[in-house]
Amino acid sequence: MQQSRSSEQLDLDELLTVSKEPRRYEFIILQHPEIARATSPSEKDRRVVDPPCILQLKIYDSRGNLDDNAMRSPFWVVQAMLEGPHQMPFQLLQGQLASSASYVAAGWAHDAGCYFVFSDLTITKPGLYHLKFVLTTVRPLPARPDELPVLGEAHAKAIRAYPQREFPGTAASSDLAKSLADHKVSISIKLVDNRNPSNRT
């Protein structure tokens, strides 16, 4: 987890105090994925969903104030999954399906806060899909010590996975992605836009 102050200065047991409950969790998709090239698990040339999905977590205390300490907790985790009218086969979505929290200081294109990045997702079959992201924690909350609750869900816009010959290519990275990468968040950066609009429908 990226932090603007050293972990030695943070008392993890004090980041989430019961006195600030009930907290409100605002879970936002800042950058939606748009396209993918369908890639079977056996292919060596994996193509990831583009652009990478970027989410932000904002936490408000019982008085409605942003709880910066809570957002510094390293125990927030987001799980990615495909959703549809019927249960999606698990193998349709491959790659790194979970993202841990990165707390970063403010940058030239992002605010200080808690972010999650999904830059290693692939879809194995052409089609139109939706991604769902579920926020939880790997450490029980003080107010709910006996459970690991689901704290929020976010639903991405539709994403189309193309067959190899129809894939229109990827876009250059956004300013948001570049700004987070400048603050050591693990996200691949593309400087060139190589999309072919004629292939997109």
Q: pLDDT, tens digit, for every residue of 12-61?
A: 678 888 899 999 999 999 999 999 999 887 777 788 999 999 999 999 99
Which tokens belong to 46? 């994996």
Whether 146 has a pLDDT exceeding 90, the answer reads: no
Rounded alpha-carbon distances, angstroms, from residue 98 to 120, 160, 179, 196: 10, 21, 22, 31
Which tokens belong to 190? 């593309």
3-state secondary structure of 199: helix
pLDDT of amino acid 135: 97
Q: Looking at the domain covering 7-191, what would its CATH class be?
A: mainly beta
Burial 160-173 (b: 16+ CB within 10 A, else e): bbbeeeebbbbeeb
Whether 67 has a pLDDT exceeding 70, the answer reads: yes
8 A C-beta contact, residue 81 and residue 134: yes
